[in-house]
Amino acid sequence: MTAKKVLVIDDSIMIRKMVKSILAGKYDVLEASDGKSGLDAARRSFPDLILLDFVMPKYNGYQTLQAIRRVEGLQKVPVIMISGLKEQVTEHVPEPFTEFDFLEKPFEADVLVSRIQGFLTTEPAHPVSAASVRSAAPAPVRDVQPTEEPNLQMILHRLTATETLLVQGIENLIQREVVARFNELNARIDHQDREIKTLNEHINRITEQIEHQNKGLMVILRELKGMQGK
């Protein structure tokens, strides 16, 4: 039986490798590093599910999703949108999300697998005869031991969490720097406005003085002309 295909579109190589490690042996995982290459990969492979990062260069996740939905045969492919901050998604797409499912980074391996299986796992119904029920021997009960997450997967998960925190920290620093620069620029503009206002006041005073002096000169000229006439 051919494994179902999951396309991971994310600009983080650590996220892509972590997902590939988690889904190894369960699904055929394809990778794309941005929206444009992800759209091309979806057109070529027609995946059964797309794991789509929201914050990416060139096209964000929602723009990529809209482009994917315009491709014949991809209108109904399940999409799980992922992001380190849900607010980044809700700024563009209001809740409740109807066009896609949402999963916040960093995510646990079992949560990711459960979400994907919820979309891709189907249980075909097989008719069971009474004879087969009578002849079937009860299956032995075995203790199911929880499988430990592989070390590589744990490392990738921790690196992903660290990367997410780092990206969020950088974004916060950039936002604070932008706000500080805007405040500095506004302060300079206010200072320049005050200087221009002061300069205009000086110009108005000088203009008034010149007009007053001109009036005085006109009076003197009239008196001189009067004296010359006499």
Closest CA to 78 of 27, 2, 153, 12: 27
Domain of 27: which CATH number? 3.40.50.2300
Q: What average pLDDT does this structure show over 122-139?
A: 42
Q: What is the DSSP letter of 27?
A: S
Q: Kindly state the percentage of the chain with pLDDT values over 90.
A: 32
pLDDT digits (tens, 9 = 90+) for 171-230: 555 656 656 676 777 778 878 888 898 888 889 889 888 988 888 888 888 878 777 766
d(CA 226, CA 69): 95
Q: What pLDDT is attached to residue 221?
A: 82
Q: What average pLDDT does this structure show over 52-63?
A: 88
10-14, 29-33, 50-54, 148-152: which has the minimum mean pLDDT? 148-152
Domain that holds residue 18: 1-122
Q: Do 1 and 105 belong to one domain?
A: yes
* Within-domain flag for 129: no
Q: What is the DSSP letter of 81?
A: E
Given a contact cutoff of 8 angstroms between Cβ atoms, the answer to whether 56 and 9 are in contact is yes
Given a contact cutoff of 8 angstroms between Cβ atoms, the answer to whether 12 and 33 are in contact is no
Q: Do 85 and 159 belong to one domain?
A: no
pLDDT at residue 123 is higher than 90: no
Q: What average pLDDT does this structure show over 117-122?
A: 84
Q: What pLDDT is attached to residue 164?
A: 61
pLDDT at residue 48 is higher than 90: yes
pLDDT digits (tens, 9 = 90+) for 64-84: 999 999 999 999 999 999 988
Q: Do 183 and 84 belong to one domain?
A: no
Q: Provide the H-helix boundaries in 91-150.
A: 109-120, 130-135
Q: What pLDDT is attached to residue 167?
A: 60
Three-state secondary structure call for residue 9? strand
Neighbours of 27 (CB within 10 A): 21
Q: Do 62 and 176 belong to one domain?
A: no
